[in-house]
Structure 1
Amino acid sequence: MTEPGQGQDPERVASLARRLRDGWRPEGMWCRGIVLAVSAVLLGLLMILHGHVPNTVGNLGSLLETFLPWLGMLGIPVLLTAAVLRRSATAIVALVLPAVVWAGFFGGQVTDKRGTGGNLIVATHNVYAGNPDPAGTAREIVKAGADVVALEELAGNALPKYEEGLAKTYPYRTVQGTVGLWSKYPLSDVAPLNIKIGWTRALRATVKAPGGRRIAFYVAHLPSVDVQLDAGFTANRRDKSAAALGEAIAAERLEQVILLGDLNGTMNDRSLAPVTAQMRSAQGVAGDGFGFTYPAGFPMARIDQIMVKGMDPVSSWSLPRTGSDHLPLAASVKI
């Protein structure tokens, strides 16, 4: 006698195959998933027209631009999965639009653009005021081998640890408020920089690099931003500081300029245009991948920046995690 269930599996497989085949027949697959198709088109248009999303209500435009890469990295796979499950050819074809747009905007960032030939290495790190191991953080910074290092969010009780840990490698240094610059080469024309906060979180200094080249270094820690239900993206103070920083850089007399710091914003954020419009991102030009730096545990945005003017970045990379909530960032430039 036939055991219960014997001979039924082939029939079930055949039935499943028929259902799958029928589901992808032309008369059905083009009619289903219209909502998914419209969603895909809207996603593509949102990425194309992100600059037209207004900032007048809760700085919504800047919030969108801060996480713009994730709009495609999350939205496209979700819609594609839904389209396949729905067996909708219309939705799958519609997804070509956001996929092409995302590739055009960010495809170049996922490749390794690092080169060789730089003759100055710089690094920046928001060390976090509550860092439980400032001495260890200083050791990691020294390991990076940078010629010039900027630190932000220096707490008064931790500052001696950083100074002690960096002193041997970097004989020249300046600390202005909560930001500092450590250098292997002489510093001059050091001054705090007013970025309209009310206390000092930025500085400007001249570094005498090898060959006698004088380079203007700016270190800045722009005000923090937040997302609140009642106020939206609270970035107005940061935007005001970015405008002041941009004015200072525009008035700089030296031809070669390097900006290091935590700008609390990405290169896509229109509100940082006073700075980003006149400088180039080392990570964007010569990095490997997106170079996200915050939060350190699961980086989702590159709000720490190394930007240059009058010189070429040849390589940029993130450094290992320290006791901070940010990842350090380094770059090699050709001067």
Structure 2
Amino acid sequence: MKLARTLGTLLTGGGSLAAWLSLAGGFVPALDALASFLPLFGAATLLGLLLAWRRPAWTMVAALLGLAPVAIGVVPELTREIPAARAGTPQIRLLTHNVWRSNRDPADTAQAIIDAKPDVVTLQEVDGSFRPMLAALSQYFPYATQCSPGCDLAIFSRWPIVDSDYFLEDPGGRKFGPAMLWARIAGPGEPPFTTVTLHYPRPTSRDQAVRRRDVARALARIDRDPLIVAGDMNLTPWAAAMREQDRAFDPLTRMTRALPSWPRAFPVLPIDQLYAGPDWGLVSARRLPATGSDHVPILVTLARR
């Protein structure tokens, strides 16, 4: 019993301290990476309280102290408003997936993408073992982007891609902003829309903050009403960096709400995201079963508002 209580006290103290430190990420960027694990810190605190249970009053104080930062970080994500689609409007199914350079079963991953029957597919890390599967996907999706050498991104579509590039373009055709793959897609009987896919560095890299800032500035220069942005952003919703990006991407809304997508064996981190402009409302967003990638696919259904 004594050993269990000691372990419980350590879990409670360590989980609480880590949770409070993660909330400081908005002021100390180096601590923001801790926020990715905020729900896990809450779980550790709860487990510790169960093991170290003594007096109800002491336990209640410890619970409030340890779980308050978890609630502060997680509840806003669970309660934020996401615009709903209007009933009866045409829907579009978008699948975003980091297929992983070291994919253990590329054929299975490709088949899972096909079986999901998406209209548009955005892929990251296609430059590894998955690359031979791009030809297989093109048999089911007649339209695809062509990316520059060194690009690890791809977009497939059931509908015509009328324009695409690795850099955004102004009305005069001049390229600007950081590299990110985009495709202008003409859906049946609907105005064209633009889909962008990108892949951020890990949050421990200082390059990620620069990348996020440059992407937000570039997107602000184009029409964002029909825009859809999806990819592996290596950010969880309870990180200060994600909240900052949500504000910077406005009027786009993040349609993915706390959908764990990594790691494959036991997804706990929601790091794959999809944003959509004011033209779109959410029908559904769900995680698909794991395949050979270290990420799981995310399927989002949108409809015009």
- Same fold, judged at TM 0.5 (above): yes
1:71-93 Cα shifts (integer Å, max 9, x gaps)? 222223323431x2x33522324
Note if 1:189 corresponds to 2:143. Answer: no
> What residue in structure 2 maps to residue 144 of structure 1?
116
> What residue in structure 2 maps to residue 73 of structure 1?
43
> What residue in structure 1 maps to residue 171 of structure 2?
none
TM-score relative to the length of structure 2: 0.77
> What residue in structure 1 maps to residue 274 of structure 2?
306
Contact in 2 for aligned 1:243/1:272 (Cα 8 Å) = no
> What residue in structure 2 maps to residue 172 of structure 1?
143
State how far apart, in whole Å, the 2-side matches of 1:146 and 1:101 are.
38
Note if 1:46 corresponds to 2:4. Answer: no
Contact in 1 for aligned 2:16/2:67 (Cα 8 Å) = no
- Shift in Å at residue 211 of structure 1? 2.5
Q: One-letter code of the match for 1:280?
A: T
> What residue in structure 2 maps to residue 17 of structure 1?
none
SS in structure 1 opposite 2:218? Answer: helix
Between stretches 144-153 and 42-51, larger displacement belongs to: 42-51
Unaligned runs of 5+ in 2: 1-8, 169-177
Contact in 2 for aligned 1:47/1:98 (Cα 8 Å) = no
How does 1:86-235 map onto structure 2 within 5 Å? Answer: 86-96=54-64, 98-99=66-67, 102-103=70-71, 105-106=73-74, 109=78, 117=87, 119-155=91-127, 158-164=130-136, 166-176=137-147, 177-193=151-167, 202-225=180-203, 234-235=204-205
> What residue in structure 2 maps to residue 328 of structure 1?
297
Contact in 1 for aligned 2:226/2:277 (Cα 8 Å) = yes
Q: One-letter code of the match for 1:321?
A: A
SS in structure 2 opposite 1:46? Answer: helix
Unaligned runs of 5+ in 1: 1-34, 195-199, 226-233, 285-289
State how far apart, in whole Å, the 1-side matches of 2:63 and 2:202 are.
36
> What residue in structure 2 maps to residue 250 of structure 1?
220
Runs of 4+ in 1 over 3 A off after TM superposition: 38-45, 47-53, 96-110, 115-118, 272-275
Residue identity over aligned pairs, in percent, reads: 28
State how far apart, in whole Å, the 2-side matches of 1:132 and 1:50 are.
38
Q: One-letter code of the match for 2:60?
A: I
Between stretches 131-140 and 321-330, larger displacement belongs to: 131-140
State how far apart, in whole Å, the 2-side matches of 1:44 and 1:133 are.
36
- Shift in Å at residue 274 of structure 1? 5.6
Q: How many residue pairs end up in the alignment?
A: 273
Q: One-letter code of the match for 1:319?
A: L
- Shift in Å at residue 306 of structure 1? 1.4
TM-score relative to the length of structure 1: 0.71
SS in structure 2 opposite 1:189? Answer: strand
- Shift in Å at residue 217 of structure 1? 0.8
SS in structure 2 opposite 1:238? Answer: helix
Q: Kindly report the root-mean-square deviation, in angstroms, between the aligned alpha carbons of the 2 structures.
A: 3.2
Asked which structure has the greater CA Rg, the reply is 1
